[in-house]
A and B are shown apart, each in its own frame.
Chain A
Amino acid sequence: MDFLVCISKAPDTTTRIAFTEGDTRFNEEGVQFIVNPYDEWYALVRALELVEAGGGKVVIAAVGGADCDPILRKALAIGAHEAVRIDAAPEDAMQVAAEIAAYAKGQSFDAILCGKETIDHNGSAVPAMIAEHLDVPCIALCTSLEYEGGKAIMTRETANGIEKVGVNGPFVLSAAKGMAEQRIPNMRGIMAARTKPLNVVPASGAAAGTRIERFALPPEKAGVKLVDADNPAELVRLLREEAKVI
């Protein structure tokens, strides 16, 4: 099986968010960037497990400039076989999905794996968009992926609970927690990553469909109102009469 895993550069989960240029740009100063956790921990690791068990290769792809190379090397160190960087500044889901799809169209991947969302833009939009460009199914919010006789079997989260589905032929999935466990790259992996191919390919010039006008930080909380531990009934009264949430 040959897998394409889409990865995105995201600020580390402990980042304190700040903006610059009149709140129109994310302030990257001093920010540590990581592979978007859903892409790395779940999509990439599951693809590696399947290839280790059954053969094939894992190609990782990102849309971005040279500032993406360190996270591509990190994913190679975890075990991906080759990396592709589509050379364009990422603007929105529509543009990124069109670029990934334009690259994937010329290849023959058995499946394209994405994380269920990025932790910076949180749109959960790219996987379904790639699938529509390629006219293949998209299984959103998957928690497992297995193959049985060439058929992909997945479990996914739905409004009604957990559902088991099957797909013949290529597909796109978005990976949620439960699909795999995080892997820490070892020294051998880090050394090997230096010589693995990282191919930079030109972008197709896809356009964005949206633009961000301004960012804002949420208002600060007014401060906690403490209730005595011996009197939880007072908390219930406040929730009912003051906060009016029950």
Chain B
Amino acid sequence: MKCIAFIQTKGGQATKAGLEAAGFAAAIGETVAIVSGELNGDGGLGAVGVGRVLQGPADLDDGQLGRLVAAAADQEGAQAVVCAQDHLGKAVAGRVAVRLNAGLIAGVTAAPNGDSYTRNVFSGKATAQVKGATDRLVITTTPNAIGMPEATGGTAAVEAFNADLGDRKVQVLEAAAPSTGGRAPLPEAELVVSAGRGLKGPENWGIIEDLADAVGATTACSRPVSDIGWRPHHEHVGQTGIAIRPNLYIAIGISGAIQHLAGVNGSKVIVVINKDPEAPFFKAADYGIVGDAFEVVPKLTEAFKAL
């Protein structure tokens, strides 16, 4: 099966989520990547199994990107289009699916099993095996779920590509300002330190920031903490916030309500620190410390710094 992989780049290199998507596509079949804008060499795509890279124009909006990717799929006779289920993928994949009259399997979390794909449903409380019902398919891959492809050492030829993209309809008025202090955005973060009402007030978040700095983690919080304004909304992880699947999730002073667990149970390893030994979160945890966050967290920070 021929694939087109739509890959987001940053500083001319494919993003980590993009490399995961490219590797996923290459495992399905012969893969040609399409990028918009700046590219440094082949952007690292040849090394994960991409044969050729089509380089489209820069500064396209979501509608133009949809046209670009669909045109590339048509040119290459691709039966599948793959991209990451990241911010951009959520804006573009649906458009490509409509243009190609292709079914969309969104947020796949494992390598393909024949023509069946695994994805999370019910906010991570369950998984589903999904098949396409159309000739062509669009598949998006959940960041940090399927693993990085093994490097093959190959390089991909880069060709300029363009198509009838129509006019830009979305004007960017103010460029993006980082909301995570230079750390990975939560949906893509590998390490996350999160805290809840057990911290007693926003003035106590210093120990959480210190631990996150020592670990190299992105900070997150529970719903009550963002609802009462202790922390910004974009830090809320859970069923009605952001679903995350880091390698390590450290939850401090969070009891572990079912809605919170739904958003974080894709984490590979969960550490729970809570003074209540009956907190339900311990049942979903791999490691735990029963103790007062104000005593345990600074000690844990020192232990990470000592590495």
Interface residues of A (CB under 8 A from B): 11, 13-17, 19, 26, 37-38, 41, 92-94, 97, 116, 119-129, 131-133, 135-141, 143, 153, 157-169, 171, 174, 176-178, 207-218, 221-222, 224-230, 232-233, 235-236, 238-240, 243, 245-246
User: B176: which of A160, A176, A208 is its contact (CB, 8 Å)?
Assistant: A160
B281 to chain A, nearest CB (A): 9
Other A-B pairs beyond A19-B126, A92-B103, A218-B127, 8, CB < 8 Å: A16-B258, A120-B121, A122-B106, A139-B91, A139-B170, A162-B177, A166-B170, A229-B290
Across the interface, which residues of B come within 8 angstroms of A164, CB to CB?
A: 172-174
Given contacts A159-B15, A177-B233, A221-B285, A125 and B126 within 8 Å (CB-CB): no
- Asked if B307 and A229 make an inter-chain contact with CB atoms under 8 angstroms apart, the answer reads no
Q: Identify 7 residue pairs between A and B in the complex whose beta-carbon atoms are under 8 Å apart, listed by A's number.
A: A124-B106, A162-B179, A209-B132, A213-B129, A216-B128, A225-B286, A236-B303
- Asked if B104 and A236 make an inter-chain contact with CB atoms under 8 angstroms apart, the answer reads no
Given contacts A13-B239, A97-B98, A225-B287, A212 and B128 within 8 Å (CB-CB): yes
Across the interface, which residues of B come within 8 angstroms of A227, CB to CB?
A: 287-289
Bound Cα distance from A208 to B121, whole angstroms: 17
- Asked if A224 and B287 make an inter-chain contact with CB atoms under 8 angstroms apart, the answer reads yes
A-contact 0/1 string along B285-301, CB 8 Å cutoff: 11111111001100110
Across the interface, which residues of A come within 8 angstroms of B241, CB to CB?
A: 177
- Asked if B87 and A141 make an inter-chain contact with CB atoms under 8 angstroms apart, the answer reads yes
User: A119: which of B123, B128, B292 is its contact (CB, 8 Å)?
Assistant: B123
User: B240: which of A13, A26, A143, A224 is its contact (CB, 8 Å)?
Assistant: A13
Q: Is B43 an interface residue (CB 8 A)?
A: no
Q: Is B125 an interface residue (CB 8 A)?
A: yes
Bound Cα distance from A178 to B124, whole angstroms: 22
User: A214: which of B62, B128, B236, B265 is its contact (CB, 8 Å)?
Assistant: B128
- Asked if A177 and B94 make an inter-chain contact with CB atoms under 8 angstroms apart, the answer reads no
Across the interface, which residues of A come within 8 angstroms of B296, CB to CB?
A: 229, 232
Which of B92, B99, B170, B241 has the most chain A CB atoms inside 10 A of its CB?
B170
- Asked if A94 and B88 make an inter-chain contact with CB atoms under 8 angstroms apart, the answer reads no
Q: Is B271 an interface residue (CB 8 A)?
A: yes
Nearest residue, chain B, Cβ from A98 = B98
Across the interface, which residues of A come within 8 angstroms of B107, CB to CB?
A: 122-124
User: B243: which of A122, A162, A167, A224 is its contact (CB, 8 Å)?
Assistant: A122
Across the interface, which residues of A come within 8 angstroms of B66, CB to CB?
A: 128, 132
**Chain B, range 82-109, C-beta contacts under 8 Å to A:** 85-88, 90-95, 97-99, 101-107
Q: Is B160 an interface residue (CB 8 A)?
A: no
Given contacts A129-B97, A141-B90, A177-B241, A210 and B133 within 8 Å (CB-CB): yes
What secondary structure prevails in chain A residues at the interface with B?
Answer: mixed
Q: Is B36 an interface residue (CB 8 A)?
A: no
Nearest residue, chain A, Cβ from B297 = A232
User: B97: which of A94, A140, A160 is its contact (CB, 8 Å)?
Assistant: A94
**Chain B, range 123-157, C-beta contacts under 8 Å to A:** 123-134, 137
User: A233: which of B180, B291, B303 is its contact (CB, 8 Å)?
Assistant: B303
Bound Cα distance from A123 to B122, whole angstroms: 10
Across the interface, which residues of B come within 8 angstroms of A119, CB to CB?
A: 122-123, 239-240, 262
Q: Is B200 an interface residue (CB 8 A)?
A: no
Across the interface, which residues of B come within 8 angstroms of A19, CB to CB?
A: 126
User: A229: which of B106, B121, B226, B291 is its contact (CB, 8 Å)?
Assistant: B291
Q: Is B71 an interface residue (CB 8 A)?
A: no
- Asked if B103 and A208 make an inter-chain contact with CB atoms under 8 angstroms apart, the answer reads yes
User: A236: which of B171, B173, B268, B304 is its contact (CB, 8 Å)?
Assistant: B304
- Asked if A97 and B88 make an inter-chain contact with CB atoms under 8 angstroms apart, the answer reads no
Top 4 nearest A-B pairs by Cβ distance? A209-B103, A229-B291, A128-B94, A160-B176
User: B287: which of A92, A128, A140, A238 is its contact (CB, 8 Å)?
Assistant: A238
- Asked if B236 and A177 make an inter-chain contact with CB atoms under 8 angstroms apart, the answer reads yes
B223 to chain A, nearest CB (A): 9
Across the interface, which residues of A come within 8 angstroms of B90, CB to CB?
A: 116, 124-125, 128, 140-141, 174
User: B288: which of A131, A214, A224 is its contact (CB, 8 Å)?
Assistant: A224
Across the interface, which residues of B come within 8 angstroms of A143, CB to CB?
A: 233-234
Q: Is B58 an interface residue (CB 8 A)?
A: no
